[in-house]
Amino acid sequence: MAEKTSTYYIGRLDGFQARERARRWGGSWGSRLKMSHFPVSAMSPIDQYLDSHAERFEDELCELLRIPSISAQPDRRDDLRRTAEWVADQFRRLRFDVEIIPTDGHPLVFAQSPTVPDAPTALVYGHYDVQPVEPLDQWISPPFEPTRRDGNLYARGATDDKGQMFTHIKSAEAWMTVEGRLPINLKYLIEGEEEVGSHGLEHYLAQHADRLACDCVVISDGSQFAPGIPAITYGLRGIACYELRVHGPNRDLHSGSFGGSVTNPAIALTKILAGLIDHKSRITIPGFYDDVVPLSDREREAMAAMPFDEKHYFEQIGVAEAMGEEGYTALERRWARPTFDISGLTSGYQGEGAKTVLPATASAKFSFRLVPNQDTAKITSGLKWRLAELCLPGVELELIDQHGSPGVLASLDSPAMAAAARAIEHAFGRPPVYTREGGSIPIVTAFSKQLKTDTLLIGWGQDDDNTHSPNEKISLADFHRGIRASARLWEELAK
Amino acid sequence: MAEKTSTYYIGRLDGFQARERARRWGGSWGSRLKMSHFPVSAMSPIDQYLDSHAERFEDELCELLRIPSISAQPDRRDDLRRTAEWVADQFRRLRFDVEIIPTDGHPLVFAQSPTVPDAPTALVYGHYDVQPVEPLDQWISPPFEPTRRDGNLYARGATDDKGQMFTHIKSAEAWMTVEGRLPINLKYLIEGEEEVGSHGLEHYLAQHADRLACDCVVISDGSQFAPGIPAITYGLRGIACYELRVHGPNRDLHSGSFGGSVTNPAIALTKILAGLIDHKSRITIPGFYDDVVPLSDREREAMAAMPFDEKHYFEQIGVAEAMGEEGYTALERRWARPTFDISGLTSGYQGEGAKTVLPATASAKFSFRLVPNQDTAKITSGLKWRLAELCLPGVELELIDQHGSPGVLASLDSPAMAAAARAIEHAFGRPPVYTREGGSIPIVTAFSKQLKTDTLLIGWGQDDDNTHSPNEKISLADFHRGIRASARLWEELAK
């Protein structure tokens, strides 16, 4: 009666072999495209200024990057304050109105350019705080000693977000120096708590939406689609997060003595969760798809034309076969379709070996990614109805509605979108692709809600910039193209 | 955008209210029946001996109970050895052949009564080790200071198993003293590792089955059906335990960026587990029920006649509604039908709040309780087939076969069973009920396999004896009735 343990690998078709193959493939994400260069003919005075001050801009960025403004670490409070002062000083040099606004956490920097009557107003959002730097031993050069290597600048915050945010300050400098004025009204809101939840900003935004009023919000805190392929992100998914707890007997029971006569909460949980999504990966909550904004033909065509290599995508994450909602491509599923995901399962015995227990409870954390127009309250209400329908006799359900925020979708046809596209083409030598993002950016949702305006999400970074990881970097070419695009954006928005 | 957390309680019908009601009910398990007393007329000399030495038997049991033979605690090794010696000494006084057999753990005590030619042989199994005693502050009297209260003797090991095992030694003493001989051949195998896995015994049994050869095994290490209702347990379920691991992407993914395009291993796991059992609580593995020995009409009638109060049963465990395989009562489901239970679920994020992760893996521990004739190897093979059928694209399955043992069913019509029934009726004043047990007792399975003989499971304990808990006890009336039944059993088995 010694225990015999055997392990079997069971693949759908030859799944295990496919997994092994996937491991061997390795492979990197996509192929690198050759970077384009500035079109040097017919340079405007603004562009000439940017070109001739490029090295100083880099040096100034290095100065900013040297301040270890790690918002998560309480003993860095003075460094955060110093960074806010440094940023405010940049605006003072441009003779902007500047205010350092205290919060319960780290201060906000708010700046306004001199008024240009009858011109539109853009609000630039960015953040001066950075992520922690551990593990330190994996950094090739120290995180707060900015170092140039292979056309990149390495430092914590280089791309997220000091480097990107700074492009919108230098573009304003060019205008103020060369032309003595900006073509539009600019407001800047630069926070120091983005990496720890933006609580101070959200509080301020809820109370001072009037002061932040604008025609569009501009954010550069993300990535291009791929090297050499700049992008404008016009849609974000929303989210609705829940925890479901299934309560069965009043204590863990012996599965031998009781098994078969009592509803097993873990079985009830699997039945309920499995019942929330059908074999076509469609969510079975009544009315779930009613308000979904369908993908337009134009969007589907644009997504199909993206240089998105599904094979490389799945190889990179070690998945042998695609799966998802029937009738959609992987990119459409990620960007523009609502989804159901389980993020955690907990029940009974989780240690080594076996324990013959019939657990008293079982719980799951799960979320729906929502697309624009889905309403979180309606989703919760439909979910409750469906859970009651799926519940088994002998257990009770407890649903915890953790949080939710709606999806965001900017119009592709707005003047601001067209202005951004022209500005990007001017700087990057090719028009941007229009992307959506599967995740949520809470601050964009908040701007959308409080300021009733679209956000231009124009990231200058790259997917391999090591955001939040050791050896964070920004491509210096992207940094300068970002400044040039920003400078042109002010002009285009004025048209 | 502050997080708003709401909690909903969702019951099937008015499940939550039912749960609250169940809490208020409280209620104890079943009603206490009045104990029967010895029929005092026409006492045999054996019974007269037992009666007149009753107090000494209790004192000797107290002596045995004072030795803290906790097998799980390494520093008790000498106490275990001392207990084995004490037990061996009991046999020496009866002039039995005795051997203390060393094992890698605590020793076995093996004893044989003087040979009675042409008489059958019974092997008595018991154990002299006990469970740990924590939490100590919940004991009314100290665990190793045996104390009489309200007709019970309180001490660790009082019922499990020192007190019950000792009945079969005192019954032999009565025969040897009064008659100078036993009516049958007795072998005793008393181990010191039952509470820690019986490894030494299993090893010995596999190598010395010939020495242990017998016509039946006798074990008193369990409970009567209820106070005043003695029982013979003639069936045990087997078990097959597994762990299933679902492997998806090569790392946890962001559910926003990737969700919808990649099979979520936790969803795949819930789909697979939910698919192993249908809405009638029937297991969907092909061939699963092929070898199940169906309940006979006689068994179903006997079970229906049991004083088993389903309402009290479910109240006691706080369950508002029964559920289980269609067409069977709760008792039948527990004792005689195979079942599927999930004992553990693990995946993704299990901490407070939400984390928007698409987990790389998800796993479950689960088991099937098997009934006689189901074969664990066939179950595993069918399970593998079914898992491959239920697997989703984009994940791979790893199945760990943890351990299994078949069910055991003794014939209700054997001479030994009839002998035990007569002996029990003699001592308890009423015939036993015939019960099955939902759990497995590995040592019974091992005896069945190695000795090819039936086991008489005749427990003298009660469900409320606090086995493995503080304030373990044995009813002194049950202790003495057990000795009397045992003494009569030797005689009845000889017939």
Restricting to B residues 420-439, those with a Cβ less than 8 Å away from any Cβ of A are: 437-439
Sheet strands side by side (includes A473-475): A147-149, A152-154, A473-475
Q: Report the pLDDT value the prediction gives residue A134, as an integer from 0 to 100.
A: 86
Give the A window 70-109 contacts with B, CB below 8 Å: none
| A-chain residues near B15 (CB < 8 A) | 391, 395-397
Q: How much is the CA Rg of chain B, to the nearest whole Å?
A: 26
Q: Do B392 and A262 touch (CB under 8 A)?
A: no
pLDDT digits (tens, 9 = 90+) for B426-457: 999 999 999 999 988 889 999 999 999 999 99
Average of per-residue pLDDT values in chain A: 91
A447: tokens are 């701007």
Hunting for tokens 């025969």 — which residue is that?
B175
Q: Which residues of B touch A399 (CB under 8 A)?
A: 7-10
pLDDT tens digits, residue range B133-151?
Answer: 988 999 999 999 999 999 9
Compare CB distances from B342 to A1, A4, A270 and report the shortest one's residue.
A270
| The pLDDT of residue B9 | 65
Is the separation of the CB atoms in B396 and B436 below 8 Å?
Answer: no
What is the number of other CB atoms lying within 10 angstroms of the CB of residue A35? Answer: 14
Which pLDDT score is estimated for A197? 85
Closest partner CB to A342 (pick from B243, B261, B347): B347
Instruction: Find residues 285-304 of chain B whose CB sits inside 8 Å of chain A.
Output: none
Q: Which of A143-152, B94-103, B249-258, B288-297 has the lowest mean pLDDT?
A: B249-258
**Residue B156: alpha-carbon gap to chain centroid:** 18
In 10 A of CB A444, how many CB atoms? 22
A2 Cβ partners below 8 Å, 6+ apart? Answer: B202
Residues 347-376 of A with CB under 8 A from B: 347-350, 353-359, 362, 364-365, 367, 369
Q: What is the pLDDT of residue A23?
A: 36
* Per-position DSSP letters for B121-132, written without gaps between them: EEEEEEE--B--
Residues of chain B with Cβ-Cβ distance to A23 below 8 Å are: 250
pLDDT, one tens digit per residue, over B220-233 is 999 999 999 999 99
Between CA A86 and CA A60 the distance in angstroms is 10
CA distance B148 to chain A (A): 30
B345 and A349 within 8 Å at the Cβ level: the answer is no
Q: Quick one: pLDDT at residue A20?
A: 38
Look at residue B352 in the predicted model and tell me its pLDDT.
Answer: 86
- Per residue in B387-428, pLDDT (tens digit) is 999 999 999 999 999 888 899 999 999 999 999 999 999 999
Q: Could you tell me which residues come within 8 angstroms of residue B66 by beta carbon, excluding any fewer than 6 positions away? A: B144, B145, B146, B155
Q: Which of A2, A369, A387 sits opposite B255 (nearest CB)?
A: A369
Q: Do A10 and B391 touch (CB under 8 A)?
A: yes
Q: Would the pLDDT of A26 be above 60?
A: no
Cα–Cα nearest to A30, from A163, A234, A223, A160: A223
- Mutation target among A1, A5, A285 for the B interface, most CBs of B within 10 A: A1
Q: Kindly report the backbone phi and psi dihedral angles of residue B283, in degrees, each rounded to the nearest multiple of 5, phi listed first.
A: -80, 135
Select from A7, A10, A19 the residue whose CB has the most chain B CBs within 10 Å, as the one to mutate to test that interface. Answer: A10
* B11: confidence class by pLDDT, cuts 50, 70, 90: very low
Q: What is the pLDDT of residues A194-236, one digit of tens each?
A: 988 899 999 999 999 999 999 999 999 999 999 999 999 999 9
| Locus of tokens 């990496």 | A195
Alpha-carbon dihedral of residues B455, B460, B463, B467, nearest 10 degrees?
-90
CB contact under 8 A, A333 and B261: yes
Q: pLDDT digit string (tens) for A225-275?
A: 999 999 999 999 999 999 999 999 998 998 888 999 999 999 999 999 999
Q: How far, in Å, CA of A378 to CA of A287, rounded?
A: 8
Any A CB within 8 A of B445 CB: yes
What local confidence, expressed as pLDDT, does residue B41 receive? 54
Residues A10 and A32: their CA atoms lie apart, in Å, by 37
- The predicted-structure confidence for A91-121, as pLDDT tens digits, reads as follows 999 999 999 999 999 999 999 999 999 999 9
Q: State whether residue A450 sits within 8 Å of chain B by CB.
A: no
- Look up the pTM and report it: 0.82
The region that residue A424 occupies, defined by phi over 0 for left and psi between -120 and 50 for alpha, beta otherwise, is alpha
Residues A376 and A241: beta-carbon distance below 8 Å: no
Whether the predicted pLDDT of A32 surpasses 60: no
Question: Mind listing the pLDDT tens digit for each residue in B176-203?
Answer: 999 999 999 999 999 999 988 899 999 9
Pair of tokens at residue B23: 């809490």
Contacts of A290 (CB under 8 A, 6+ apart): none
> Who among A239, A269, A271 is closest to B356 (CB)?
A239
When the pLDDT of each residue in chain B is averaged and rounded to a whole number, the result is 91
User: Of B342, B394, B396, which has the smallest distance from its Cβ to A267's Cβ?
Assistant: B342
> Which residue of A2, A22, A354 is in closest CB contact with B367?
A354
> Which secondary-structure segment (H or E) carries A272?
helix A265-274
Residue A355's pLDDT is 83
Spatial contact of B420 and B432, defined as CB atoms under 8 Å apart: yes
Beta strands in B306-441, from DSSP E residues, in sequence order: 339-348, 357-358, 361-370, 396-405, 408-409, 433-437
Furthest-apart CA atoms within chain B: distance in Å: 89
The CA distance from A183 to the nearest CA of chain B, in Å, is 34
In the predicted structure, residue B25 carries a pLDDT above the cut 80: no
Q: What is residue B23's predicted lDDT score, i.e. its pLDDT?
A: 36
In tens, the pLDDT along A321-358 reads 999 999 999 999 999 999 999 999 999 999 888 888 89
Among candidate residues A203, A155, A172, the one with its CA nearest the CA of residue A443: A203
The predicted-structure confidence for A386-415, as pLDDT tens digits, reads as follows 999 999 999 999 999 988 889 999 999 999
